[in-house]
Amino acid sequence: MPVPDGALIVQSDKTLLLEVDHPRAEEARRAIAPFAELERAPEHIHTYRVTPLGLWNARAAGHDAEQVVDALVTHSRYPVPHALLVDVAETMDRYGRLTLLKDDEHGLVLRTTDRPVLEEVLRHKKIKPLVGEKVDDDTVLVHPSERGHLKQELLKVGWPAEDEAGYVDGEAHRIDLDTSGWSLRPYQQQAVDGFWHGGSGVVVLPCGAGKTLVGAGAMAEAKATTLILVTNTVSARQWRDELLKRTTLTEDEIGEYSGARKEIRPVTIATYQVLTTRRKGTYTHLDLLDARDWGLIVYDEVHLLPAPIFRMTADLQARRRLGLTATLVREDGREADVFSLIGPKRYDAPWKDIEAQGYIAPADCVEVRVTLGDGERLAYAVAEPEDRYRLASCSPAKNPIVERIVKQHKGEPTLVIGQYLDQLDELAERLGADVITGETPVGQRQKLFQAFREGEIDLLVVSKVANFSIDLPEASVAIQVSGTFGSRQEEAQRLGRVLRPKGDGRTAHFYTVVSRDTVDAEFAAHRQRFLAEQGYAYRIVDADDVDATA
């Protein structure tokens, strides 16, 4: 029976409204977390949505329809729409009617518990070429190289296959955590355990919550050669430094495979960029995948996987795969590919929960709105649509505001972040600060980042090269002047630059400077959606009131 004062309102459009201040809100949140995706999290009512992918994630993690229905009925304030309960049961029942497994006699096969389902999927023109002869009425041969592609296509037609074909152990290599003076935080250990018991999948943790240590913990479980894929060379070197510090690995055991170096060792850290480099139409570095008998593949920032890497991932189904991310939001909508090729979500921790435990800093998010001058407004009005965002983003009206915010936080480690190089160069000159862009040599980048970490400098102007996997633990102020249109994932990463917990417990500050009445403001609103979903409220202030924001 529904609880008269339940914390949840379950609606027939498959949205779940959670009353945050309800005494049983946390209990209800934990009950729906395995299957419902958080969409919005403003102050009082959080909105979740029940989707097929979310329900299949839950099935893959061992939850059944009875548990989902029980969670909804137990915590709902009003009777749960019957049609929704039927749909939940039927959607979850679609998972597992097809199973990929290893047969001693025939190798990899696709087997069904429901013969008409197998007949149905075999008639899809994109699935038929991926399978071989029928073994019997319920079983069809699958070539091992098509394991990933088949899972992708089955998910698209609404019949996700349960993959029980197992993994090769890979080449054994001893890796242990060196826990002298530290240990995995409880949520990090839970993430490692969730991944390891599930076999493959994705761990979702806030920026600053130590995803690299989850990767190290998974490597210690696997004790096998490991390929780590990262976003850029600076990130690769930070992974190497962290592994040297936190594990028993030595420098000789860790290789870097990037534009600068081509080392293949028991633990190899490669950049997405080098793997997706093409010469004469072919990906010249894909041989790296066959260079060792890898036991584990780690995908850092899995939400950024370039499309060609999906094809590679389809070929790596016999290896354990761990995806690490702060958000499974993909601007290209390919979350389903992450599910089918890397694996389901194995662990997810809300940002505010980790903040409440003291492991990431509380954040104050402020949007500062500036008004374009009359000349700029006219230029904007007559500009071609494709030029308007740049015009609005790079408005000179932003420069004095950035200077005032920097002055207001003088002495605090501050990052000024933007998209357009000429804008960043101008700001760096006005502020007397160093600038880091994609054109800055890797050695120079590392040197400046290190000087920032050690407090030798407290102000850096950075392009989007600093969005991802850059560890700047003491950064406490970020000022965003332009971004990649409406990218929510970028917003999450940029806030993440300042969320590392501060030694003195101070609050982080995240400013976004936008031009009002332009597409700049529209895109800013879209980018902020992800942070609102995580429970971060933006304050909006006028540029004239910026001194009052501290």
pLDDT at 332: 65
Tell me the C-alpha to C-alpha distance, in Å, between residue 411 and each of 416, 455, 459.
14, 10, 9
Token code pair at residue 482: 């332009």
CA-based nearest residue to 342, from 294, 307, 276, 297: 297
What pLDDT sits at residue 549?
Answer: 46
Pick the CATH number of 186-355 from 3.90.79.10, 3.40.50.300, 1.10.1740.10, 3.40.50.2300: 3.40.50.300
Helix, strand or coil, per DSSP, at residue 40 = strand
Per-residue pLDDT of the chain (550 residues; tens, 9 = 90+): 444 589 999 999 999 999 989 999 989 988 998 899 877 767 788 889 999 989 998 998 889 999 999 999 999 999 999 999 999 999 999 998 999 999 888 999 999 999 999 999 999 999 999 999 999 999 999 998 899 999 999 999 999 999 999 899 999 999 999 989 899 999 999 999 999 998 899 998 887 788 999 999 999 999 999 999 998 888 899 899 999 999 999 999 999 998 888 999 999 999 988 888 878 777 777 777 777 899 999 999 887 788 778 878 888 888 999 999 877 766 566 778 888 899 888 888 777 788 888 888 778 888 899 999 999 999 999 999 888 989 999 999 999 999 999 999 998 989 999 989 999 999 999 999 999 988 888 888 889 988 988 889 999 999 877 655 566 667 889 898 987 655 556 666 777 767 776 666 778 888 989 999 998 888 877 767 666 666 676 788 888 877 644 4
CA-to-CA separations, 255 to 263, 285, 288, 404, 413, in angstroms, rounded:
5, 15, 12, 44, 32
Q: In this predicted structure, what is the pLDDT of residue 205?
A: 86
Q: At 481, list the tokens.
A: 């002047």
The whole-number pLDDT of residue 534 equals 66
Q: What is the DSSP pairing of strand 139-142 with strand 131-136?
A: antiparallel
**How far is residue 113's CA from residue 116's CA, in Å, rounded to a whole number?**
9
**Element (DSSP H or E) covering residue 219:** helix 211-222
Q: Copy the structure tokens of residue 140.
A: 């069809």
Contact between 300 and 239 under an 8 Å Cβ cutoff? The reply is: yes
As given in the structure block, the two tokens for residue 225 are 């050669």
C-alpha closest to that of 347 among 184, 188, 185, 191: 191
| Rounded CA separation 445/437 (Å) | 8
- Residue closest to 48 by CA, chosen among 507, 533, 527: 533
What DSSP string describes 157-201? Answer: TT-PPEE-S-----SB----B--TT----HHHHHHHHHHHHHSSE
What string of H, E and C letters represents the secondary structure of 245-307? HHECCCHHHEEEECCCCECCCCEEEEEHHHHCCEECCEECCCCHHHHCCCCEEEECCHHHCCH
Cβ atoms 493, 417 nearer than 8 A? no
In this prediction, residue 507 carries a pLDDT of 83
Do residues 23 and 8 touch, judged by C-beta distance below 8 A?
no
Answer for the pair 488, 530: CB distance below 8 angstroms, yes or no.
yes
What is residue 544's three-state secondary structure? helix
Nearest to 151 by CA among 165, 141, 163, 135: 163
Write down the CATH superfamily of domain 361-549: P-loop containing nucleotide triphosphate hydrolases (3.40.50.300)
pTM greater than 0.85: no
Residue 436 β-bridge partners? 462
Give the residue from 300, 290, 50, 286 showing the smallest Cα distance to 171. 290
Q: Alpha carbon 349 to chain centroid distance?
A: 12
pLDDT of residue 287: 74
Cβ neighbours of residue 123 under 8 Å, at least 6 residues apart? none
Pairing of strands 282-283, 278-279: antiparallel
Burial bucket for residue 140 (CB in 10 Å: 0-12, 13-18, 19+): buried
**pLDDT for residue 550:** 47
